Chain A
Amino acid sequence: MQEGAPDPDLYDYHPYRGRPKITWPGGKTVAVWVAPNLEYYEIDPPLHPSRKAWPTLHPSVVGFAHRDHSNRVSHWRMAEVMTKHGFPGSVSLSVALCQHHPEVVEDARARGWEFFSHGIYNTRYAYGMSEAQERAIIEDSIRTVMEATGQRIRGWLAPALTHTPRTLDLIAEYGFTYTCDLYHDDQVQEVKVRRGRLASIPYSLEVNDHYGFFVYNMSPREYAEALIRQYERLAAEGARSGTVMCIPLHAYLIGQPHRIGPFEQALRHIAADGRAWIARAGEIVDHWRAQTGGQG
């Protein structure tokens, strides 16, 4: 990016109308990927100079325990429903979860899920890091996930969505192929980086379960309905040129007992529709890259 410039120059403008046709395998019109955030929040993290980790003095019992619900209860509830309806996960991983709760990471690996890095902890923020420090968390992420799962990670979602002006250039340099941090499009897009190539895959804040429940205050059934409407529109428009729908999740939210049933209805709807290519993030980026050669 252009540090300090009003336009960070992350990408070129491409009007949604008249784009080259992207087609997904089997003639599907929308690539659907599910992104569970498997996270570890520290109970007593060091203070970052520009952002507090918890709203109260430590221990922030509700905040910590709510997120811990994922790793004791709701990860498996969410994962079972996804597996039952044929949705693999592309995991946004706090890589220290590989040390704290390898049981959760192993469950995801055994289901054939893909991993990308969401930083070391979701309570350690990248703002203000030197280049050496940011390289350290990237290298730590690659090494930790390789050792725990045998996968070489290809994607990045910044820890707690905290970036530096170097983040995108650095992950491209380390051979990552996609970022989940940019929300400017409903199709995969090229990101401008100093060296190499990097794709932006649509993640989503708007249909993220956290936004659904805590920004838009949706009931569980309203959220499921929002997912279906999001899907229906993207599946229809994808006939012109293949679109991407991401469902970003947190087990401690979507895996609550009052939410998982309506969510399962949304997955059932998408799986039964016939227009969805249900895939992992890396496959979606690869298919897009193969068709555009990077010119998309």
Chain B
Amino acid sequence: MALDPAYLEYPHRRHGYDHELYDWSCLHTRAPVRWPDGKTVAVWLCVSLEWFPIVPGGPFKAPGHMQTAYPDFRHYTARDYGNRVGVWRFLDAFAAAGVKASFATNAAIAERYPELIEAILADGHEIIAHSTDMNGTIDSSLSREAESALIGEAIARIVRAAGVRPSGWLSIARQQSWNTLDLLKEHGLAYCCDWVNDELPYRFRNGLVSLPLNHELSDRQIVAVQQKSAESWAESLTDAFDWLAGEGRAQGGAGRMLPVHLTPYIMGLPYRIDALERWLAAIAARDEAWFAPGNAIIAAWESHEQAQAEEAGRG
């Protein structure tokens, strides 16, 4: 018995990655990024607004999708609860804490629930494109043409329904194909949130910016997957904030980022929402915290990137 000899060949064994998507760099040796007003921890609240068709479709089934035989009233309605009730609790909680967030929004949500989009925009939050609906998953089984059409449709529908053009993109389950980064760039997007390999923005080789939305710190991972309580979620998020603030302090005021990925049907439940409210109040009271939507973090990081480039040019 033996494996195919090609299994012991390593054609991409070389310095750097075995792909061409972005370059390697170590967060701890980069020139420190500075956030506005000397803050050290950018807290990025990102809410996913998801509409699950009761008939699942797409290349793969999105997390949270229908599970029983048709018609799955249980999951269809439990997910839609987030859009009818939970997200309104989030909006009140963000207003009470005086913080701005990003809303990664299925185009179908913008079309179906205009009152919600109006309230999000009235409060000064950001809309990020998040595909068409929860059947709009992407993976390498899609042709380049089909994927391009999906991304184009998601953006066009959200622009038409919400009246704003998103600069960011979040894929469902953060899953991409080999073409996704180039297609997002071609469709005029500035950043995507799918790559969880870093804790600060960085630039892909094609010019798109990566804004890493840590999946380990999401309510889906901690509460729905690992089945911890809302209080345990809050404890972990506070521990993360403390650690990042400590790193920023130790590096002379260097910026760090804490992404907080929230799902209305998970953390927006009556028995969990107060843990989120208490956490927001506690962190908003911290001197190190800069609550900012994704596009504001990108803007601050891009000025830093430009200043670095100018410095390098002078040097």
Known: A43-B17, A72-B198, A100-B17. A257 touches B244 (CB 8 A): yes
Question: A219 near B1 (CB under 8 angstroms)?
Answer: no
Question: B17 near A133 (CB under 8 angstroms)?
Answer: no
A46 within 8 A of B: yes
A260 within 8 A of B: yes
- Number of interface residues, chain B, beta carbon within 8 A: 62
Contacts of A62 in B (CB 8 A): 173-175, 194, 196, 215
- What 0/1 readout, one digit per residue, does chain A (7-35) give for beta carbons within 8 Å of chain B? 00000000000000000000000000000
Output the least CB separation between A183 and chain B (Å). 24
- What are 18 A-to-B residue pairs whose CB atoms are below 8 Å? A48-B3, A49-B3, A59-B177, A61-B195, A62-B173, A62-B194, A62-B196, A64-B197, A65-B194, A65-B195, A65-B197, A66-B196, A73-B26, A77-B28, A96-B13, A219-B228, A220-B236, A221-B239
Instruction: Enumerate A86-106 residues with CB–CB distance to B below 8 Å.
Output: 96, 99-103
B141 within 8 A of A: yes
Known: A69-B196, A72-B25, A217-B228. A128 touches B240 (CB 8 A): no
Contacts of B7 in A (CB 8 A): 46, 48, 124, 133
Q: Residue on B with the closest CB to A41?
A: B18
Contacts of A259 in B (CB 8 A): 239
- What 0/1 readout, one digit per residue, does chain B (216-239) give for beta carbons within 8 Å of chain A? 110000100111100010011101
Question: A137 near B232 (CB under 8 angstroms)?
Answer: no
Contacts of B13 in A (CB 8 A): 96, 99-100, 120
Question: A96 near B3 (CB under 8 angstroms)?
Answer: no
Q: Residue on B with the closest CB to A42?
A: B18
A128 partner, pick from B1, B16, B194, beta carbons under 8 A? B1
Tell me the complex Cα distance, A242–B195, Å. Answer: 45
Contacts of A219 in B (CB 8 A): 222, 226, 228, 232, 235-236
A111 within 8 A of B: no
Contacts of B198 in A (CB 8 A): 69, 72-73
Instruction: Enumerate B1-39 residues with CB–CB distance to A below 8 Å.
Output: 1-4, 6-8, 10, 12-19, 24-28
Instruction: Enumerate B264-286 residues with CB–CB distance to A below 8 Å.
Output: none
Q: Residue on B with the closest CB to A73?
A: B27
Task: Tell me what chain B mostly uses at the interface: helix, strand, loop, or mixed.
Answer: loop
B19 partner, pick from A44, A120, A128, A129, beta carbons under 8 A? A44
Question: B243 near A260 (CB under 8 angstroms)?
Answer: yes
B60 partner, pick from A46, A56, A221, beta carbons under 8 A? A56
Tell me the complex Cα distance, A64–B22, Å. Answer: 13
Contacts of A103 in B (CB 8 A): 24, 26
A211 within 8 A of B: no
Instruction: Enumerate A137-188 residues with CB–CB distance to B below 8 Å.
Output: 137
Output the least CB separation between B275 and chain A (Å). 14
A262 within 8 A of B: yes
> Size band of the A side of the interface?
35 or more
Inter-chain CB contacts under 8 Å: number: 153
Chain A interface (Cβ within 8 Å of chain B)? Answer: 40, 42-44, 46, 48-49, 56-62, 64-66, 68-69, 71-73, 76-77, 96, 99-103, 120-121, 124, 128-130, 132-133, 136-137, 213, 217, 219-221, 256-262
Contacts of A121 in B (CB 8 A): 10
Known: A61-B176, A61-B195, A136-B8. A72 touches B26 (CB 8 A): yes
Instruction: Enumerate B179-196 residues with CB–CB distance to A below 8 Å.
Output: 194-196
Tell me the complex Cα distance, A247–B14, Å. Answer: 30
Known: A48-B3, A62-B215, A220-B239. A100 touches B10 (CB 8 A): no
Output the least CB separation between B171 and chain A (Å). 8
Output the least CB separation between A244 and chain B (Å). 29
Output the least CB separation between B214 and chain A (Å). 7
Contacts of B10 in A (CB 8 A): 96, 120-121
Q: Residue on A with the closest CB to B215?
A: A62
Tell me the complex Cα distance, A61–B139, Å. Answer: 10
Question: A137 near B239 (CB under 8 angstroms)?
Answer: no
B303 within 8 A of A: no
B140 within 8 A of A: yes
Tell me the complex Cα distance, A56–B139, Å. Answer: 8
B111 within 8 A of A: no
Tell me the complex Cα distance, A233–B15, Å. Answer: 44
Tell me the complex Cα distance, A258–B258, Å. Answer: 10
Tell me the complex Cα distance, A128–B216, Å. Answer: 34
Contacts of A133 in B (CB 8 A): 2-3, 7-8
Q: Residue on B with the closest CB to A144?
A: B13
B242 within 8 A of A: yes
Tell me the complex Cα distance, A49–B197, Å. Answer: 29
Known: A102-B15, A130-B3. A61 touches B25 (CB 8 A): no
Tell me the complex Cα distance, A113–B132, Å. Answer: 49
Output the least CB separation between B311 and chain A (Å). 22
Output the least CB separation between A104 and chain B (Å). 8
Known: A65-B197, A71-B24, A72-B27. A99 touches B3 (CB 8 A): no
Known: A213-B226, A220-B239, A258-B243. A59 touches B2 (CB 8 A): no
Known: A43-B18, A62-B215, A76-B28. A257 touches B6 (CB 8 A): no
Q: Residue on B with the closest CB to A96?
A: B13
